[in-house]
Structure 1
Amino acid sequence: MENANLNVLFQEKRQQLNHFASQFTTDYDEKEDLVQETFIRALKSVHNFINDPKLMTWLYVIMKNIYINQYRREKRKNAIYDEYIHTDYFNSVSINLTENKMIHDDILKALAGLPAESAEIFKLHLDGYKYHEIAEAYNLPEGTIKSRIHQTRKKLQQKLKMYQSS
C-alpha cells in the first residue's frame, strides 16, 4: 500500500485511537505516544487488515498490548531498582545526600566497568524489555541474552557487595 493511502487511513483512524488511548491514560503526551506507537507497530501488517471490518479492533489490541507492556516494564524496572538500589542501608535514617551521590556514582562506575554490550543489554533488561526483544535487537539467541544478564547481575552484585545487607 502506498504511503499516501496509509496517511489517509491513519488520519481517519487517529480520532478513534485517541479515544482508545483515553481509556489507558489522561496524560496528553502519553496518549500521543500510544497512538504513534500503535501506528508504528501496525505498519508491519496493515496490508492484512486494510479492508477488514476488524481493523479498529486489531488497532485497539495493539494499543492495549503496548500499554500493558509499558506498564509491566515500568513495574519491573521499579522492582529491579528496589532490589538493586534500595537495600536496608539506603533506607537507614542516617544516610544523607552526599552518601546517596557516592552510591549512585559507585553504581555508574560498576556499570561502566562492564563490557559495553553487556551493560547495554542489562540496562534494557532493567528497562523491562523481555529476553526475546533484547535477543532480537542484538541478533543473538535468547539463551545467550539470559546468560549475559545473569553474568552481569553477578558481576554487579560482586562490585556492589558493600551495599548489600547482611
Structure 2
Amino acid sequence: MENANLNVLFQEKRQQLNHFASQFTSDYDEKEDLVQETFIRALKSIHKFINDPKLMTWLYVIMKNIYINQYRREKRKNVIYDEYVHTDYFDSVAINQTENKTIQDDINRAIECLSQENADIFRLYLEGYKYQEIAETYDLPEGTVKSRIHVIRKTLKQKLKMYQIN
C-alpha cells in the first residue's frame, strides 16, 4: 500500500485510537506513545486488514497487548527495585558497588562475545519481551528464538560459572 494512503488511513483512525489509549492511561505522552507504537506494529500486517471491517478491533488488540507488555516490564523492574533498594540490604549493596560493577562488566563482556544478533535477541529477552515479539522483530520462527535463548543462557552460564553459588 502506498505511503500517502497509509497516512490518510492512520490520520482517520488516530482519534479513535487516542480514545482507546485513554482507557489505559491519562498521561498525554503515554497515550501518544501507545498510539504510535500501535501504528508501528500494525504496519507489518496492515495489508491484511486494510479493507476489513474489523480493522479497529485489530488495532485495539495490538494497543492492549502493547500496554499489557509495558505494564509487565514495568512491574518486573519495580519488583527488582523494591527487592534491592527498599530493603535492609541497601547498605550492603552500597558497600559492594565495586564488586557489583565488576560482575556487571563481566556479564556485559560475556554478552558481547555473542554474535550481534544473538546479543540483541538476548537483550530483548532480558527486557521482558515475549518469544513471539522477538521472533516477529527478527523474522524468525518462535521455536528458533526459544532455542537460541536456551543456548545463549547455557553459554553465558558457562562463561560466568565463577559467580555461581553451589
Q: Same fold by TM (over 0.5)?
A: yes
1:102 Cα deviation (Å)? 1.6
- Matching residue of 2:14: 14
Give the alignment of 1:26-41 within 5 angstroms. 26-41=26-41
In 2 relative to 1, CA 101–4 (structure 1 residues): closer, same or farther, beyond 3 Å?
Answer: same
> Does structure 2 conserve the Cα–Cα contact (< 8 Å) formed by 1:74 and 1:127?
no
1:47 Cα deviation (Å)? 6.5
1:153 Cα deviation (Å)? 1.0
Q: Percent identity?
A: 71
Structure 1: unaligned runs, 5 residues or longer: none
Number of equivalences = 157
1:24 Cα deviation (Å)? 1.5
| RMSD between superposed Cα atoms in Å | 3.3
SS in 1 for 2:92: coil
In 1, distance between residues paired with 2:13 and 2:146?
39
In 1, distance between residues paired with 2:48 and 2:146?
35
- Matching residue of 2:66: 66
In 1, distance between residues paired with 2:61 and 2:8?
21
Give the alignment of 1:107-118 within 5 angstroms. 107-118=107-118
Q: Which amino acid aligns with 1:48?
A: F
Question: Does 1 or 2 have the higher relative contact order (CA < 8 Å, sep 6+)?
Answer: 1
- Matching residue of 2:142: 142
1:10 Cα deviation (Å)? 2.5
Q: Which amino acid aligns with 1:18?
A: N
1:5 Cα deviation (Å)? 4.2
1:136 Cα deviation (Å)? 4.2
TM-score with structure 2 setting the length: 0.70
Give the alignment of 1:15-164 within 5 angstroms. 15-43=15-43, 44-45=45-46, 48=49, 50=51, 52=53, 54-75=54-75, 78=77, 93=92, 95-164=95-164
TM-score with structure 1 setting the length: 0.70
1:37 Cα deviation (Å)? 1.8
In 2, distance between residues paired with 1:130 and 1:28?
27
In 2 relative to 1, CA 146–35 (structure 1 residues): closer, same or farther, beyond 3 Å?
Answer: same
Runs of 4+ in 1 over 6 A off after TM superposition: none
In 2 relative to 1, CA 104–140 (structure 1 residues): closer, same or farther, beyond 3 Å?
Answer: same
